Structure 1
Amino acid sequence: MKHYKAYLIDLDGTMYKGNEQIDGATQFIEYLNKHEIPHLFVTNNSTKEPAEVVEKLKAMGVTAKPDEVVTSAIATAEYIAEAHPGASIYMLGGSGLEQALTNHGLVIKNDEFVDYVVIGLDEAVTYEKLATATLGVRNGATFISTNKDVSIPKERGFLPGNGAITSVVSTSTGVQPTFIGKPEPIIMNKAMEILGLDCSEVAMVGDLYDTDILSGINVNMDTIHVQTGVSSLDEVKLKDVPPTYSFKDLNEVIKELEI
């Protein structure tokens, strides 16, 4: 396997499932840190702030820093702030999305008369929240969704993801949102800005073909698929553009890098 100057690494399904660490995750980050190889955690999960992600990783024995975490919430907030500084927002989502939006000078409102409707994963979603979001889009608000993930891996199994929640509003209004997170280039370009490297020098590591692997393919980046989450080896083999590599887990990636 090629040795890269840096790695972009997914979290859910790659480093952990819910609160369960995936075997090889700690060892892989230890290997990168030992060899001083830059890496960023690029996640579609918009519910957590970078510091919270770091605490979760540290609880699993993984060394990380907040500036090594790029969330779809941060990428979403930057995207809106650049296009429309000070815009008003109706949002569904967790504290990570709320904090990112307000940190970028955006104004969160609790009604349908806003500039943007933004949907992130909301584990306390209600019919009323979806109704307000739907009315906002019908009133002409720009429709943004942090990511397309229709399912997310948890300890109980694969649960509804942000894409599933977003589909309620898009189906009701007939309006498709602009997606920010993987596999869209928007979040990947943000990560590459931080690294300051060319895509040919970096690999994307993840479990889910339709987000993690496609995100690398969409920016002409090599991809490393790990068989620890959603997409199986048999599934990725059938794709028109398969991942550059596929491994059972991150332990196997380390073995390849040590050759």
Structure 2
Amino acid sequence: MTDHPVDSWLTDMDGVLVQEQHAIEGASQFLTELERLGLPYLVLTNNSIYSRRDLRARLLTSGLDVPEERIWTSALATAQFLAEQTTGEGRRGTAFVIGEFGLTGALHEAGFVLSERDPDFVVLGETRTYSFTSITQAIRHVLGGARFIATNPDTTGPSPDGPLPATGSVAALITAATGVQPYYVGKPNPLMMRSALNAIGAHSETTAMVGDRMDTDIVAGIEAGMRSALVLSGVTQRDEVTRHPFRPTWVVDSIADVVPMVEELARG
């Protein structure tokens, strides 16, 4: 696998390109190098709150110019997955959604009708304010037979004041009340990686994944058949790497260290 050139890249966003609304040193140069060499790439995020347009605006305020079509979210991957699952059923179906516009908009674009009455799916994503009423409705729908889907298993999300409960925590609550486990679409499910690869027409053996988490980014990249670069600018610290039974292809301090690798790896 390592003999193949790397002619496509996937990269996580938070902890790799940005940290608390500020671009990490080397992020702009990394994106510029990919554009200069004409290499396909996608910026990935498990966050399902924001649309592509929202994330592009957020990245612009950090000084990073990423086109909308170069952004891939767990919300988009979830909508695509459900669309594929309902192909041949004659209709896309209905979904009861807990989430923000990034998720509801993606599902709407995929042809789903959002409904609070006898939905085919309960789709759980991230929101700034989880509603006990909505969670109660979700529990009742799942008990009534709705298929339970969650955008990602992340239990907490970052905020200026500290961690916030995220999709995985609320999913655990619904599971405890129903006995039903959700199907998680986002990282570390390699399904999200494969959907991203398909979105840019890339192949796993010639694509590298850059991430800051061993338990999501790196394991998903490995399971999807890609080479992987762990940056130590985010969640995972160097002394934690050896605790895992799998290894990234490269371990570097930050995305700045990946920049000189891009052209070298493209040559094979």
Interval of TM-score (by shorter of Structure 1 and Structure 2): over 0.9
How much does 1:50 deviate? 0.8
User: What number of residue pairs does the alignment pair up?
Assistant: 258
State the identity %.
33
Sort the Cα spacing of 1:24 and 1:161 in 2 relative to 1 into closer, same or farther, 3 A.
Answer: farther
Pair 1:245–1:153, CA change in 2 (3 A) = farther
Q: Distance in 1 between matches of 2:243 and 2:249?
A: 13
Secondary structure at 2:9's aligned position in 1? strand
Where do residues 33-44 of structure 1 align in structure 2 (5 Å cutoff)? 33-44=35-46
Deviation at 1:257, TM superposition (A): 4.2
Does residue 109 (structure 1) correspond to residue 111 (structure 2)? The answer is no
Question: Any idea what SS the aligned residue of 2:55 has?
Answer: helix
Partner of 1:67: 69
- Show CA shifts across 1:136-156 (max 9, x none): 111110000001112233433
Give the letter aligned to residue 193 of structure 2: M
Which residues in structure 2 correspond to 1:1-259 (within 5 Å)? 4-84=6-86, 85-111=91-117, 113-257=118-262
Structure 2's unaligned 5+ residue stretches are: none
CA distance in 2, matches of 1:96, 1:168: 23
The structural deviation recorded for 1:115 is 0.6
Greater displacement, 176-185 / 23-32: 23-32
Secondary structure of 1:148's counterpart equals coil
State which drifts further: 118-127 or 84-93.
84-93
Following superposition, the deviation at residue 168 of structure 1 comes to 1.2
Unaligned runs of 5+ in 1: none
User: Closer, same or farther in 2 for the Cα pair 1:154/1:209, shift >3 Å?
Assistant: farther
Q: CA deviation at 1:183?
A: 1.3
* 1:162–1:204 distance in 2 versus 1, CA, 3 Å: same
Deviations 1:205-253 (A, max 9, x none): 1111111111101111111111122111211222111111111111122
Shift of 1:48: 0.8
Distance (whole Å) between structure 1 residues aligned to residue 19 and residue 123 of structure 2: 26
Distance (Å, rounded) in 1 between the aligned partners of 2:192 and 2:213: 16
**Residue type matched to 2:192 in 1?**
I
Partner SS for 2:43:
strand
TM-aligned CA distance change 1:181 to 1:159, over 3 Å = same
Q: TM-score scaled by structure 1?
A: 0.93
Q: Is the 8 A contact 1:12 1:152 kept in 2?
A: no
Q: Tell me how large the CA RMSD over aligned residues is.
A: 1.8
**Segment of structure 1 superposing worse, 133-142 or 193-202:** 193-202
User: Alpha carbons of 1:169 and 1:121: their partners in 2 closer, same or farther (altered >3 Å)?
Assistant: same
CA contact (8 A) 1:13 1:153 kept: no
Q: Is the 8 A contact 1:10 1:206 kept in 2?
A: yes
Q: Deviations over 1:97-121 (max 9, x none)?
A: 010011111011135x211000001
Contact 1:93 1:119 in 2 (8 A): yes
- Give the SS at the match of 2:154: coil
